[in-house]
Structure 1
Amino acid sequence: MGHNKTKKLVTGIVSATMITATATGCGNEEALPPVPEGSDCEDWEWEADEGVWECDDDDSRYFGHYYYGGAFFPSKSKLKASSAYKSYKSSSTYKGGGKVSGSSSGFGSGSSGGFGG
């Protein structure tokens, strides 16, 4: 069980990496939604398939939960059943399904309009 200290450090490294990625402007990291704050989970992992954050902190009561739109979902099926998630999934802001790192064929042309904020 001696890995907890390392885990907490990893969180800091991850956020530093994200800042670097944003600065280099590689076009996907800066578009990720913010990590949930004050949620009893110290370690969040981006779940690219679903386009949401997943808690990876095994000391947390939210371990293994998915987070979207201010709510925690204990399983992928609960997440997918959520109406808020369904509308997110069909919207242009959806970041899942490998779209973030996926091939640029066809989606490069439509993406320029969506980044205006």
Structure 2
Amino acid sequence: SRGTPRIANRLLKRIRDFAQVRSNGIIDLDITRYGLNALEVDEKGLDRVDRNLLYCIINKFGGGPVGLETLAASTGEEADTIEDVYEPFLMQLGFIQKTPRGRKATNLAYRHLNIEPDHPEQISIID
């Protein structure tokens, strides 16, 4: 939920919908996992766009650094949306780091996505 009540409520409503259809309206751990998986929200709370941003930094730009406008053009997301919505959460989790030259994926991001860094010495160490 990114620590945002509005997002938490939206996810809860969607899980409730899954429970109505699949579980006689009962929300338990299994239906919650099922629903979050269907909504493409992983165990850290990342959604499809979060992961797409990380994959882009890692796969298209060698882990970074990459500028905001370049990242926006490469992902099809608005630069303001990346900066205001996605970036703070990814930074809070320690998955990206802002540098004067742009955004870089951290070791935590590589690990979370099960990707081996090409140049581990160039990736910041945030554990």
Do Structure 1 and Structure 2 share a fold, with TM-score over 0.5?
A: no
- Answer 1 or 2: which has greater helix percent: 2
**Max Rg structure:** 2
- Answer 1 or 2: which has greater strand percent: 1
